[in-house]
Structure 1
Amino acid sequence: MMDTLLQASDGWRAQAEVFSEIFLVFVAMGTVVGVVVVAYTLYHAYEYRDTGKETEEEFDAPQVGELPSGQGGGKSKKLFVSFGISAVIVISLVVYAYTLLLYVEAGPTSEVETEGDMDIQVTGFQFGWEFTYPSGQSEFGTLRVPADEDQVIRLHITSDDVWHAFGVTDLRVKADAIPGETSEEWFIADEPGTYTIECFELCGAGHSQMTGEIVVMEPNEFNEWYNGTYDPSASTQTVGVSA
């Protein structure tokens, strides 16, 4: 049910895109609020500067234990309005971010599986990664997937020995690899490229060398590779490290 509610009308969105959107929205809102606050502060600093013309009786000095604007009238109104606006902004951002995080957390499960989605078994071991495709074919160190914005890659992650943590920073993918348990993650790769896999859980002397790659290939080249007919020398694709 949650998957259906959170799925976009035109398909699932890549996690990296979702997190980038959250970041940009918070930066934009923070910039707007910062500009308003600074402008408001500078205006009042200028408007209520000491001109030397006020008498001691006219000077409205703040009192200890009392809010400066808590004198009633318009000042109190401005205080509550500013608190109200702040509350609306904060609550809106929390609801917005939480909704998108639910989208990422729930993800596309087998209940909403569409044709072409791929389930891959990921097994961590000291000190490497094994990837098993639906066909039963296994690869060590390199996971190859097709570049397709409509295809979801689901990972079922576990470990053969100790705790590991499978992570791909550029794809915003991370999940624990625990012996006897299976963690689920997913991603969408819409452009050809190479992404670095790292282990984010200290797992022994070779932890720093426990790396791998996700190679995102053109769909036709992936199909050729998957069927055992791929010729790398004939490929025109240039694969580079993703920024």
Structure 2
Amino acid sequence: MIDPVILQQGSDWRAQAEVFEEIFFVFLALGTLVGTIVVAYTLWNVYKYRDDGDRSDEEFDAPVVGELPTGQGGPKAKKLFLSFGLSAIVVISLVVYAYGLLLYVEQGPDTGDEGNIEITVEGYQYGWAYEYPNGHTERGELIVPADHRINLNITSRDVWHNFGSSRLRIKSDAIPGEYSQTWFSVSSETVREQGGNATYLVQCFELCGPGHSAMKGQITVLPQDEWEEWYANTGNGSASASIRGSGVAAPSGVSA
């Protein structure tokens, strides 16, 4: 199995979106390669064993229905078991590879809680409310810093919802009286590429009533210094005191 530790070297651990994109690319590339080989081999056999009218019935070694073509080590047996063996190797390798990456996505990177930010997400008909460690609440827009793991505790105040952002590859149930967890991270490079702040659409992926299609929000990712300035002006106390009181490690640059 792939050890999730190899995915998080120091501060270079990877976001969920990057992991899912890699899995998609690997499966697409390998599927295309295997498909090309299988189709090419099939067409070659169609041409090689075509009926050109010159072969007698005595020379034709036809398969027998219900009988495994072992052939006492003959060519048919070798081809059969070779194809089975190669298929097993490919499938098992893909399962081990994908399971290791998905385990990393499920558990998240081990950052030792340093720089992690805990935010409570509450769904309601028909919108989203976000509560920060200092008690400040935002509606509709979740504002977070780049280069930090953002932990989301998701619940609902009325009916079942589902909090998700397709571009960030996150999706988690919002159930009344219960909390589900997910996380995401956006790099500062991505923020710079999007002109100084990165925005991501938030949607509800659970049919929750007549206003379901309008239940949208936004995640805005700011550079760390800009987010610290914004966060320091929220809530009733200072950002550092609020984070310290919540038991969440303060992001670097915010003294605790």
Match of 2:163 in 1: 166
Match of 1:178 in 2: 175
Q: Which residue, out of 216, 224, 227, partners 1:222?
A: 227
Q: Aligned partners of 2:62 and 2:203: how far apart in 1?
A: 60
Q: Cα RMSD (Å) of the superposition?
A: 2.0
Q: Letter of the aligned partner of 1:91 in structure 2?
A: I
Match of 2:30 in 1: 29
Match of 1:106 in 2: 107
Q: Letter of the aligned partner of 1:134 in structure 2?
A: P
Q: Letter of the aligned partner of 1:56 in structure 2?
A: D
The alignment status of 1:126 with 2:152, answered yes or no, reads: no
Task: Compute the displacement of 1:132 (Å).
Answer: 0.9
Q: Which residue, out of 180, 184, 187, partners 1:187?
A: 184
Match of 1:61 in 2: 62
Match of 2:208 in 1: 203
Q: Aligned partners of 2:131 and 2:9: how far apart in 1?
A: 31
Q: Give 3-state SS (helix, strand or coil) of 2:57's partner.
A: coil
Q: Letter of the aligned partner of 2:177 in structure 1?
A: G
Match of 1:51 in 2: 52
Q: Aligned partners of 1:144 and 1:90: how far apart in 2?
A: 41
1:42-70, Cα deviation, whole Å (9 max, x unpaired) = 22222222232222211223333335x44
Q: Which runs of 5 or more structure 1 residues have no equivalent in the other structure? A: 230-243
1:71-119, Cα deviation, whole Å (9 max, x unpaired) = 331220221011011011001101111111111111247xx53422111
Q: Letter of the aligned partner of 1:208 in structure 2?
A: S
Task: Compute the displacement of 1:6 (Å).
Answer: 6.7
Q: Give 3-state SS (helix, strand or coil) of 1:57's partner.
A: helix
Q: How many residues align?
A: 222
Match of 1:157 in 2: 154
Q: Aligned partners of 2:134 and 2:6: how far apart in 1?
A: 30
Match of 2:75 in 1: 74
Q: Aligned partners of 1:74 and 1:54: how far apart in 2?
A: 19
Identity of aligned residues (%): 58
Q: Which runs of 5 or more structure 2 residues have no equivalent in the other structure? A: 192-197, 235-256
Contact 1:6–1:103, Cα closer than 8 Å, also in 2: no
Q: Aligned partners of 2:17 and 2:44: how far apart in 1?
A: 40
Q: TM-score, normalised by structure 1?
A: 0.84
Distance 1:4 1:114, change over 3 A: farther
Distance 1:5 1:47, change over 3 A: same
Q: Aligned partners of 2:66 and 2:186: how far apart in 1?
A: 58
Moved over 6 A (4+): none
